Amino acid sequence: MWFMIAIPLKSLRVFNLGLLFMFIMLAGPVRAEDSAPGPVTAPVLSQFSPENQKKLLAGEAIFEYVIAKDQDGKDEGHGRGAVLINRPVEECFRVFLDLDQQYKYFPRMTVSRLLGREGNRARMYKELDFTIVTAKYTHFITIVPEDHRVDFITDPKGENSFKLSAGFFRFVKVDEKTSILFYEMTRLELGLKVPGFIRSYLISHLSARDLPPIVTNIKKRIESGGTWEKSGH
């Protein structure tokens, strides 16, 4: 005999978000290889601790948890990944702006599709594979050429696995031949009701695990002139 149980749609959505987040936590870190840059000396590196400066100069990607003020003046932290790239900043930005090719080199990403673009504004759909669950994102993209920066924020009308995700990629000149890439995930709202300290811990854990491999793969893509692709693609 079969029985049917009615589950409210809202409860089902929360349950699915919980499953998605659990699988993302269990998916484990992705691996990436580095190529060491030449020695550089620049004021932009002074913002890092001596330990992280050493890692950057050795060609490693680093992670930092940045504390900033929110609109109410309260401390609010977010994750930041960084890596040195052996290319001029203009070349870095040019290669990175081939946005719909990100699925070829971003860890986990299987889909990166531009839904529309007008000038320096675009709309983009992405999917990330966490083995037994797929995370979906629809983002508004803002390109800021004078700052070599690309901002993204959730389009609430698009298909999204999380309530809100926002951040930016920024390339900064170190010298004529070297740049540094910053990738900052400034907002991530899961759509789940959890205490603030738990939310901060979970988001910082995800960022610390996933941001360094992302910037590493971007570095490899740019240093190859836009031809390098992740294994298995």
| Res 123 pLDDT > 50 | yes
More confident residue, 127 or 74: 127
Nearest to residue 130, comparing CAs of 17, 16, 15, 22? 22
* Eight-class DSSP state of 120: T
Nearest to residue 217, comparing CAs of 38, 26, 25, 85? 85
More confident residue, 233 or 221: 221
- What is the pLDDT, as a whole number, of residue 233? 59
The helix/strand count (H/E) of the chain reads as: 4, 8
pLDDT band at 146 (very low <50, low <70, confident <90, very high): very high
Q: Write down the domain spans for the chain.
A: 9-223
| Res 150 pLDDT > 90 | yes
Q: Which CATH number fits domain 9-223: 3.40.50.10260, 1.20.1250.20, 3.40.50.300, 3.30.530.20?
A: 3.30.530.20
Each residue's pLDDT tens digit, 1-40: 443 444 344 444 544 555 455 444 445 555 444 444 444 4
Please provide the average confidence, as pLDDT, over all residues in the chain: 80
State how far the alpha carbon of 14 is from the alpha carbons of 8, 161, 163, 175, in Å.
10, 11, 11, 48
